[in-house]
Each structure stands twice: as structure tokens, then as C-alpha cells.
Chains A and B, each alone.
Chain A
């Protein structure tokens, strides 16, 4: 359950931004989670439910944008292909590729806040 640690970090970043902008309450948070981030969205939601209590995000909604893996194969280096991972097979030559361009991200994208 490393999602607890990660959600703790996400909430810390969010509450810092909320305080800096004079917000009284966080209404929603949007996270971007890549298919190879090693994070389970359901576990993030559970962690969020537990950790938001008593913070500025109490009662807030969590939106998770799931991102596919984007990879490149030496057989066609000018194009990217998408896959759900973790075995990233090139759709052209069917070989696995190690050149992963995106899909590990776990970002706090934005949030909605209420200001007085």
C-alpha cells in the first residue's frame, strides 16, 4: 500500500497550494496516473478517503486520469505507439521495446478550490 505514502504527498502539495492561494477548502483534486506508475487507482481512492479527513480537502472529490504507455521501437524510431503495458510489444515488428517515453507519471494536475 505505497499509495498511502503517495496520497500523503499529493495532499501535502495540494494543501500547500491551497494555503498559498488563500483558499478555504479544496473541492476536487485531479491526478494523472500512468499505466506503468505502479499505482493502483482503487488504492489511491481508498487512501484519499482515509487521508482527506481533517484537512482542507475533507469532502473533496478525486479525479484520476489514467494515461497509457507511450513507447518507441528501434524498427520505426519516428513514431510512438500506445500500449497498456507492462510488456510493450511493437505493433509493427512484435518485439518488446525498452524505450518507454511516457507512462510512469503520477502527477497532481490541478485542483478546484473555494475562496472566500
Chain B
């Protein structure tokens, strides 16, 4: 369409996320070929992602060799905490960027010996908004919400929960102390994300953790082992 002024309209019809989606697709294929479960963990800061992973590595790293790619704006504190359990933990410091993207994960994957691993945890930057828009190539998306955050968190920040395959209600050992209204919280989660599985866990007391581990084991893909 050309107008007299030399202005014309070009149809593009392209996803703005296209480049990220293409890299995410490569990551997903590669994880799949290596028989690796890639789990993207999303939550607000302080919901207990790192504590969950510390307990998980302690209890399962021997039976399910694991690595963690962890995103934070600054510091490698989380990688050091996670490294204690013998798993490789790669810190991605995102600087001013509020989320992990597929390219960051791909660069970190290059540092891992994928042939030796069963699970790679992608611990996203603590943020319930921005990370939800970026596919990392995960096969399992896990959203965490702690009992200290209030029952209406899933309604206020629905994106993180809406696309999750699994939702972990964390810190349930503190539920009574903070007057957590469990029924309201679960109802809200189911309204936002009717298909997600919901587990209630405490990394500290161990409550519910065995179900989380069982879920992970059940999601391990069949192995081909061709990195």
C-alpha cells in the first residue's frame, strides 16, 4: 500500500518474544535429548526458592544428580548456598534485568556437563511479574507462594501462577503463627490456575517435601543421553 507521500504500511505479524522463544525451544530440545527435567522456579523475593532447593539437593542430589542455574540482580550468595550440597550451581547476575531469559540459560547450560544430570533447576529472579513472560525452555514451571505473603497473592499477581504446572505453598510450618487462611488461599490459587497441581511444603520441617520429590521423579523424561 503506497500513499502519495511515500508512506506505506508493512505487515509484520511477528511475536515480539520470537527470538526468546526460538532459543527456549533449542534449550527444551537439548534438555529433552539429555533426559533432563528442567524446572523453572518463580516466586516473589523471599518466598523460599533457595531454601527449597537446598533441602531438595540435600535429599535428592544422590538419586537425581542436579544442577541449578540461579538468577539474581546481584551477588553469588545463592550459588554458594546451593553449592554446599555437591551440585553445580551457576549464578547468573542479571544486573538491572528483572528476569532470566532463554539466552542467559543457554549460556549457563554451556558450563554444565548435561550428560551427568537428571534435573536442572532454573531459579528465576525473585519477581512475580517479569519472569512470567519469558519461556526458558523448561518442561516444568513451578510457582511458589509462602504462607507469610497473604492469601490473595495469586489474585494480585496472577501471571506467575496462571501458567504454572505446579504450585508450592511454602513455609507451612509458619501457617499458624501468621494466621494463614489455607482454604481461601487454595480457592484463590484454583481460580487463577485451575489445572495446576498444588502442594503444601516446608523446607524447614520437611512437611510435604516427599510429595514434591515424587512429583519431580514422575516428570523425569526418558533418557537418550545425546548432549
Interface size class of A (residues with CB under 8 A): 35 or more
Interface pick from B8-16, B112-120, B170-178: B8-16
Which chain B residue lies CB-closest to A86? B158
A113 to B8, CA, bound (A): 6
Query: 12 A-B pairs, CB-CB below 8 angstroms?
Result: A6-B133, A13-B16, A21-B10, A105-B15, A106-B16, A106-B17, A107-B14, A108-B13, A111-B10, A111-B12, A114-B6, A114-B7
Q: Are A10 and B99 in contact (CB under 8 A)?
A: no
Q: Are A13 and B195 in contact (CB under 8 A)?
A: no
B208 interfacial contact with A, CB 8 Å: no
A56 interfacial contact with B, CB 8 Å: no
Which chain B residue lies CB-closest to A29? B12
Interface pick from B67-75, B185-193, B213-221: B185-193
Q: Are B17 and A9 in contact (CB under 8 A)?
A: yes
Q: Which residues of B contact A (CB under 8 A)?
A: 5-20, 97-99, 101, 129-130, 132-134, 155, 158-159, 162, 190-195
Q: Are B133 and A98 in contact (CB under 8 A)?
A: no
Q: Are A10 and B16 in contact (CB under 8 A)?
A: yes
User: How far is the CB of B143 from the nearest CB of chain A, in Å?
Assistant: 13
Q: Are B191 and A31 in contact (CB under 8 A)?
A: no
Given A1-B130, A2-B98, decide whether A109 and B12 contact each other with a Cβ distance below 8 A. yes
A77 interfacial contact with B, CB 8 Å: no
Q: Are B8 and A115 in contact (CB under 8 A)?
A: yes
Given A21-B10, A113-B7, decide whether A2 and B134 contact each other with a Cβ distance below 8 A. yes
Which chain A residue lies CB-closest to B19? A9
Contacts of B18 in A (CB 8 A): 9, 13
Given A6-B16, A9-B17, A98-B195, decide whether A17 and B10 contact each other with a Cβ distance below 8 A. yes
A115 to B19, CA, bound (A): 27
Q: Are B194 and A13 in contact (CB under 8 A)?
A: no
Query: A residues 59-116 with Cβ under 8 Å of B?
Result: 85-87, 89, 95-98, 105-116
A37 interfacial contact with B, CB 8 Å: yes
Contacts of A109 in B (CB 8 A): 11-13
Query: A residues 5-23 with Cβ under 8 Å of B?
Result: 5-6, 9-10, 13-14, 17-18, 21, 23
